[in-house]
Amino acid sequence: MNANLATLHTSTPSDLTLIDNTLVDPARTPALRRTVPLPTPAQLRERLPCHPALAHQINQQREAIRAVLNGIDDRLLVIVGPCSLHDPDSAVEYAQRLAELAHRVGDHLLLVMRTYVEKPRTTIGWKGLMYDPHLDNSSDMAEGLALSRRLMLSIAELGLPVATELLQPMAAGYLDDLLGWAAIGARTSESQVHREMVSGLALPVGFKNGTDGSLGIACDAMRSAAHPHQHFGMDNHGQPALIHTQGNADTHLVLRGGHGGPNYQPSAVAAARQTLEKQGLAPRIIVDCSHANSNKNPMLQPAVLQSVIDQRKAGDRSLRGVMLESHLFDGNQPMGADLKYGVSVTDACIGWAGTESALLDAAEAAQI
């Protein structure tokens, strides 16, 4: 017999043990999978409630974002903030500065804070505050969920609309009542499960083009999410459920560039607009000034923002908003023991000084 085959582990029926009504081989299964119970979305919402006045504010913010996306309000939507939140103190300090700036530029720009607590990874890496709030691979997700919700509540209390990427559909119920806007990222726009989830969300959602630059998956996503779905899911009490959704009419395209380069230039935006129109989709476009649109060089983001403003001034009203990755200080840093305050631990960001000046310039340019 082949020596490799002889060393293969083979279980006999008597080795099998009943765990959770499933017969498993205990010599193998525990090493592959371990489960830790988490609170349900309803339990977390009860512990950290969104009180009626705040819920009313969030509904009004969703309406304001819809009005911008639909061209009823001529302001530019600006979804701005850290690539990821990793430290509550710097997140709140950032939010305080942004809330103050939001008032100053509010006649021309509608500011929404990126409050990203889940990170999609190309391969592996830190997955965000929700998954690993102590930043040490201890993966205290119960604390991560609570901390994420607490932070979003604090940011919303400052009067800012809250934006995030919804990456894990089962986690959406812990946070979605606090969101003014959400993104489906480049790595998940093609996913049926995400499209189903979006079809049941009562908020505006941007679908990003794929990492290869393809618009088709985001357009398909918008068409799919506009429809009612019946899908498998979990209700807010943690019960597996058949979910019936109504369809979401408030989706839009987010151009983030791709492997072939940026797609914010006038020719790329015109092509995107035509693609949307050909498919009967509303020409609502947001440009992500970061990622492949800035070749991951955060210092190029203001130039991308300027191009969007110039295109709007030249008459392109399909451009309804921008995204910027911004933190208190420029750049990023590797995850480690001595983290610098206010510096991103994921993608490099533009610092507050550069952010503030780019947004003040944008507001001024919008009035001319």
Ligand X SMILES: O=C[C@H](O)[C@H](O)COP(=O)(O)O
Ligand Y SMILES: C=C(OP(=O)(O)O)C(=O)O
Contact call for residue 347 and ligand X (CB under 6 A):
yes
Q: Which of 129, 36, 39 is nearest to 85 (CA)?
A: 129
Q: Which does 125 bind (CB under 5 to 8 A by kind): ligand Y, ligand X, none?
A: ligand X
Residue 189 beta carbon to ligand Y: minimum distance, rounded to whole angstroms: 8
Contact call for residue 352 and ligand Y (CB under 6 A):
no
Q: Which is nearer to ligand X, 120 or 331 (CB)?
A: 120
Cα–Cα distance between 55 and 163 in angstroms, integer?
15
Q: Do the Cβ atoms of 334 and 97 come closer than 8 Å?
A: no
Cα–Cα distance between 261 and 327 in angstroms, integer?
24
Cα–Cα distance between 170 and 130 in angstroms, integer?
12
Q: Which of 51, 56, 103, 121 lies at the binding interface for ligand X (CB under 6 A)?
A: 121
The site string for ligand Y over 75-114 (x = CB under 6 A, - otherwise) reads --------x-------------------------------
Q: Which of 85, 219, 249, 246 is nearest to 162 (CA)?
A: 85
Contact call for residue 334 and ligand X (CB under 6 A):
no
117 in helix, strand or coil? coil
Contact call for residue 194 and ligand Y (CB under 6 A):
no
Q: Which of 71, 125, 216, 261 lies at the binding interface for ligand X (CB under 6 A)?
A: 125
Q: Which of 83, 95, 156, 166 lies at the binding interface for ligand X (CB under 6 A)?
A: 83
- With tokens 């009005």, the residue in question is 67
Among the candidate windows 46-54, 184-192, 227-235, 271-279, which touches ligand Y by CB under 6 A? Answer: 184-192
Distance between terminal CA atoms of the chain? 83
Contact call for residue 120 and ligand Y (CB under 6 A):
yes
Residue 334 beta carbon to ligand X: minimum distance, rounded to whole angstroms: 11
334 in helix, strand or coil? coil
What single letter denotes the amino acid at residue 301? Answer: Q
